[in-house]
Amino acid sequence: MVSSERPLLEGVTVLDLSTVGPASRATRLLADYGARVVKVGPPPGSVAAPQLPPFFAYGAQRSMRKVKIALKEPEGREAFLALAGRADVVVESFRPGTADRLGIGYEAVRARNRGVVYCSTSGYGASGPRSKWAGHDLDYLAVGGYLAMTEPAAGGRPPIPGATVADAAAGGMQAALAVVAALFRRTATGEGTFLDVSVTDGVLWLMALAVDEYLATGEEPAPGHDVLSGRYACYGTYRTGDGRWLAVAAIEAKFFANLCEALGCEKWAPHQYDDDVQEDVRSALAAAFATRDRDAWVSELCATDTCVAPVQSISELATDEQFAFSSSLVEAKSDRHGSFRQVGAVLAGMTPLEEPVQVPDEDATHTEELLVEAGYDGSRVGELRDRGIVA
């Protein structure tokens, strides 16, 4: 299925200097909203080999173009600035200060393009006592309080989350939202801006319910502190008779009463938030869930206002009926890797993808085409290619 509506970010050009992490998550979002994203990387042998994701990651770079430029070379820097002079957005994820040292930072780009939205993503922001710290997703979740508020693993060890929450939500979505907001303001002022995206600030925002409670009351939240962190039996996970799991989130009294009735635990419905008997309630629910297999409970409970859902594995969600109905998983095709499935353009307002989605070869570039668009003569591009400055 293909939408007849124009993509929301059609006509927006983004230069992306990242390879992995929050910046790449952000530009994946921008591309799926219709922006023309150009991935900028180094020619072979010009620098130490960057960390490259597997071919299937980040949507296999579908709908993206690629140039390879030696940014440390003066002529390479000039080629990048020529591209940036025609772009709407530049996204980078170097260590703070690196882009300026290369001569491709905000001020250098703004001198060519006053309307550019320049988005720098880093773990802790461009300034401050942690700005030079190296880190990855788990570090940012640790510093931002996410790990401390998540139920610990065996032995009290802070857990390793099953998704890169900091990269995707705290960093990538924050960066994409900030870019869109800056583009909106530019329609009125004509001016671009510099966006300093700190991933840990994004984690802090994700943790605002707990942090604001502490700041207002002085009471420090922890796992088991309130209904959303496992204090009550109505909000938790339960093992079923076949060893699989259900998630129960029956916060409202009517949903919990429905659940208790279905499980034969009616006596506990009035005690949903009675702290003195929570272990008894939890034991009763656990014993009831253990009498049947997960999918039997799913058939009985999930459509009957109990706020129960199956804990699905990745292989299960790949065949899930809801995702199939919404065409969330699409067929992709690569000349090198053949056909495979991938998560599609699933967020609200994204234009559905035409299947099969043709994804680019990892080594393919659009360097000559894009530099000619930026004003270079084709023979000049050939000369730069021969000298290893572009590829």
Peptide bond into 54 cis (omega under 30): no
- Whether residues 48 and 118 share a domain: the answer is yes
Rounded Cα gap, residues 302 and 296, in angstroms: 10
Q: What pLDDT digit, counting tens, does each position of 183-194 carry?
A: 999 999 999 999
- Whether residues 291 and 361 share a domain: the answer is no
| pLDDT recorded at residue 154 | 86
| pLDDT recorded at residue 48 | 72
Print the domain residue range for 191: 13-206+339-386
- Whether residues 269 and 132 share a domain: the answer is no
- Whether residues 193 and 233 share a domain: the answer is no
- Whether residues 191 and 268 share a domain: the answer is no
Over range 91-113, report the average pLDDT. Answer: 97
- For residue 282, tell me if it sits in a domain: yes
- Whether residues 253 and 174 share a domain: the answer is no
- Whether residues 201 and 273 share a domain: the answer is no
Q: What angle do CA 88, 91, 93 make, to 5 degrees?
A: 170
- Whether residues 107 and 61 share a domain: the answer is yes
What's the pTM? 0.95
Annotated active-site positions, please?
A: 167
Listed in sequence order, the residues at least 6 apart from 379 whose beta carbon sits closer than 8 Å to its beta carbon are: none
Number of compact structural domains in the chain: 2
Residue 51 binned pLDDT confidence (cut-offs 50, 70, 90): confident
Q: What CATH number does residue 358 fall under?
A: 3.40.50.10540
| pLDDT recorded at residue 382 | 96
Rounded Cα gap, residues 137 and 53, in angstroms: 15
1: pLDDT strictly greater than 60: no
- Whether residues 199 and 233 share a domain: the answer is no
Quote the longest CA-to-CA distance of the chain: 83
- For residue 139, tell me if it sits in a domain: yes
- Whether residues 150 and 33 share a domain: the answer is yes
Q: What CATH number does residue 276 fall under?
A: 3.30.1540.10
- For residue 218, tell me if it sits in a domain: no
2: pLDDT strictly greater than 60: no
